[in-house]
Structure 1
Amino acid sequence: MEATYTPCTTGTAGAELDRNVTAMTGEIAMPRANGELVFDAPWQSRAFGMAVSLSKAGYFTWDKFRTELARAIRDHGQNGVDEYYLRWLDALEQSMAGSAVIDHKVLHEREEDFRHGGRDEVF
């Protein structure tokens, strides 16, 4: 299943973030097909949307997120769309570190629940 990114058309900050998202190049370049962003699974587009929305809301700067994404890719590598978005999640978590929005203990408990079949994915 592929989905595409629809840029925000309102607000100067939103428009600037949209330009920054679509202009990512090099090791952090987003997966694309025919110029459109590619998501192979629903969770990938959700992770993308969370990062964009939280940055637009001011929880972290897009520069901080890009720095964390580059670090995650350098540290863990990525080969393909699935691994790219796993690194995206790593970057999102690090970008939110120290924020009252996320409780890292609860986040990791939830990860373990999913990993070991204790929870089902909810759509």
Structure 2
Amino acid sequence: MKIELPWPDSALLPNNSSGHHWATKQSAKQQAISDATWATKKALFDDIGPRIDPEFDAELSIYFYPPDNRGRDVDGMLSSMKPALDAIAKTIGINDRRFRPVHLYPLDKIDGGRVIVVLDQIPF
């Protein structure tokens, strides 16, 4: 299953939250949840392959296409995806602890940025 998402709001980066009230990133978090929920529903509708079985692990690959050439650390990019990954898990009905292994791929910039999440079932 392939899920295409917009580039995460910079408010979701853990390095940007130091000293800020939690509510300052609430709007970005809600938008990420909404975007991921709808993108996952679209992927479920469009996908002709087998569904993800919540009883088995699902291999998670995340492809990061940033909107510019700024240096970004991979752990920060993954952290900014937490609301989206939670929404994906909830939408397909799997506990996110079943996302294993997790592969992260920081790639070249594209206009506007994008994140592509690919889930593959591991049937054992």
Relative to the length of structure 1, the TM-score reads 0.26
Greater RCO, 1 or 2 (C-alpha within 8 Å, sep 6+) = 2
Specify which structure has the higher proportion of strand: 2
Specify which structure has the higher proportion of helix: 1
Relative to the length of structure 2, the TM-score reads 0.26
